[in-house]
């Protein structure tokens, strides 16, 4: 009985003091990709399809998530700085300016992004950091990994 009460008190103490964090977005690549980290600027350039090649010369295969998913919303806010409609217009414009020859691939879940990243050596995608497993490589962004204080790709609000 006393042990249960002690556990309950510990739980309440931890829960009361723990900071409430939103979602951290992990930028993931294939495990064979030699890249370990990117700057936030490079993340923007890659996901906006301005940078289309890895430094080794291979074409970057960008995987996005469907509209209205929480992961996509964080990326729209932190990386694209656009609404989903704004992003679509931007990509259409780049397509018909001749700057890109394909649209990014769209996936419906974190699991599917991981599957595609596993399957494609040159792929890059984003997933909820809570769903990361050892099937993909998580990149450091500005030298920080998801979960750290300085990590930039996080939602301030869990619902965002």
Partner 1 sequence: MCKAVHRRILRFGYFRLSPSFVAGVSALMVLLFLSGASSAADEREGLKEEPNKLNQENTELRKQLESQMRTIEDLTQRLESLEQKSPVTPSQSEEASAMESGKNSSPFTILNHHFQWFGDVDFRDGGKVSNGNNSPNTFYLGQLGLMIHSRLTENVSVMSEIVFQYKDDESASTTIERLQLQYQVNDLVNFRLGRTHTPFGYWNETFHHGTWYQTTVLRPELFRFHDGGSVLPIHSVGLEMYGFQPLNVLDIHYNLGVANGRGKKYTDTQDSQDLNDNKAVYGVFSLAPVAVPGLRFGANVYEDTIPPDPSTAARNGNINELITGVHLIYIRDNLEILSEAMWIRHDDTVSSQRFKTWGMYLQAGYQIGALKPYYRFDRLDAAEGDPFYGPQVVNVTRNALGLRWDFINKAALKFEFHYIDQNNLNSPYAFYTQAAFTF
Residue ranges that bind partner 1, judged by CB under 8 A: 41-42, 45, 50-53, 57, 59, 64, 66-68, 81, 84-89, 91-93, 95-98, 101-109, 111-112
Nearer to partner 1, 9 or 66 (CB): 66
Separation of alpha carbons 103 and 95, rounded Å: 8
Nearer to partner 1, 52 or 147 (CB): 52
Question: Minimal CA–CA distance to 109: which of 126, 90, 87?
Answer: 126
The neighbour count for residue 109, using CB atoms within 10 Å, is 15
Separation of alpha carbons 73 and 155, rounded Å: 9
Separation of alpha carbons 158 and 138, rounded Å: 21
Q: Which DSSP letter does residue 108 get?
A: S
Nearer to partner 1, 25 or 62 (CB): 62
Separation of alpha carbons 135 and 29, rounded Å: 10
């Amino acid at each position: 009985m006393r042990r249960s009460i002690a556990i309950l008190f510990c739980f309440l103490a931890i829960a009361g003091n723990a900071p409430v964090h939103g979602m951290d977005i992990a930028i993931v690549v294939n495990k064979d990709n030699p890249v370990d980290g990117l700057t936030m600027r490079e993340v923007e350039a890659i996901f906006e399809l301005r940078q289309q090649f890895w430094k080794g010369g291979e074409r970057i295969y960008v995987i996005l998530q469907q509209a209205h998913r929480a992961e996509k919303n964080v990326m729209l806010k932190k990386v694209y700085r656009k609404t989903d409609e704004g992003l679509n217009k931007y990509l259409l414009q780049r397509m018909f300016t001749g700057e890109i020859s394909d649209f990014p691939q769209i996936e419906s879940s974190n699991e599917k992004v991981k599957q595609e990243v596993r399957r494609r050596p040159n792929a890059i995608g984003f997933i909820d950091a809570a769903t990361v497993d050892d099937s993909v490589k998580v990149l450091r962004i500005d030298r920080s990994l998801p979960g750290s204080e300085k990590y930039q790709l996080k939602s301030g609000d869990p619902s965002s």
